[in-house]
Amino acid sequence: MIGIIDYGMGNLFSVSKALERLEVDYVLGNRPADLANCDGYILPGVGAFPDAMKALEAHGFIPFIKEKVENGVPLYGICLGMQLLFDLSHEGGETEGLGLFKGEITRFSGMDEEGSSYKVPHMGWNQLNIHQPGQPLLKEVKEDHVYFVHSFVVQTKDPSILYATSDYHVEVPAIIGKGNLVASQFHPEKSGRAGMQLLENFCKVLCKQ
């Protein structure tokens, strides 16, 4: 059973429909007691980082998520859900994240190294550049195009967590992971075959559904 963490800021409909297409059993829960005994968790996210952290705290999910990850239960963060896994975000000031990955979240500058402006947010289809093809999460995942929508980007000095990147004037961490903790900046449920393969690998390989 996969638990989808509902804290009021996730694209629950599209994620749940994707799991239904994969014939994966899931449960939606807006409090830890609803999701206590799942085999793995998905943390979706749409919106602003500070609001999301407040919502996670209000629903009692911060200690729950940290405990589950520490105990080796697989967790997949999607879009904002990926950013929440890091130490700190500079969106609307400074807000501490879950601290499960080392790094910070900053806004795209909108200006490249040559001084030319570019559009923010990074929105639309962009190609994956896979760095660690042997990872179980990436089984049969190709360097296809996937769907991004984000104005803020992960900054990390730990290259070991970069499973795949994408190029949008700077290198964008697209898929990251460390053991049972994985995430993608793009929306896998909206990213065609590559995205569905990622979700299938998470549910059926990492979570053994």
Q: Is the confidence at residue 84, as pLDDT, over 90? A: yes
Residue 189 is among the residues annotated as catalytic for this protein: yes
What does the DSSP assignment read for the chain? -EEEE-SS-S-HHHHHHHHHHTT--EEEESSGGGGTT-SEEEE---S-HHHHHHHHHHTTHHHHHHHHHHTT--EEEETHHHHTTSSEE-TTS-EE---SSS-EEEE--SB-TTS-B--SSEEEEEE-EES-TTSGGGTT--S-EEEEEESEEEE-S-GGGEEEEEESSSEEEEEEEETTEEEESS-GGGSHHHHHHHHHHIIIIIS--
Share of the chain above pLDDT 70, in %: 100
Residue 150 is among the residues annotated as catalytic for this protein: no
Cα–chain-centroid distance for residue 37?
Answer: 21
Q: Is the confidence at residue 114, as pLDDT, over 90? A: no
pLDDT on residue 17: 96
Q: Region 46-72: what's the mean pLDDT?
A: 98
Which residue out of 189, 200, 203, 207 is catalytically annotated? 189
Q: Is the confidence at residue 149, as pLDDT, over 90? A: yes
Q: Region 6-11: what's the mean pLDDT?
A: 92
Q: Is the confidence at residue 154, as pLDDT, over 90? A: yes
Which residue out of 38, 79, 203, 207 is catalytically annotated? 79
Which residue out of 187, 200, 203, 207 is catalytically annotated? 187
Determine the residue type at 111: M
Token reading at 56: 């996670």
Residue 122 is among the residues annotated as catalytic for this protein: no
Q: Is the confidence at residue 112, as pLDDT, over 90? A: no
Which of residues 85 and 114 earns the better pLDDT score?
85
Count the alpha carbons within 13 Å of 11 in the hemisphere toward its beta carbon: 19
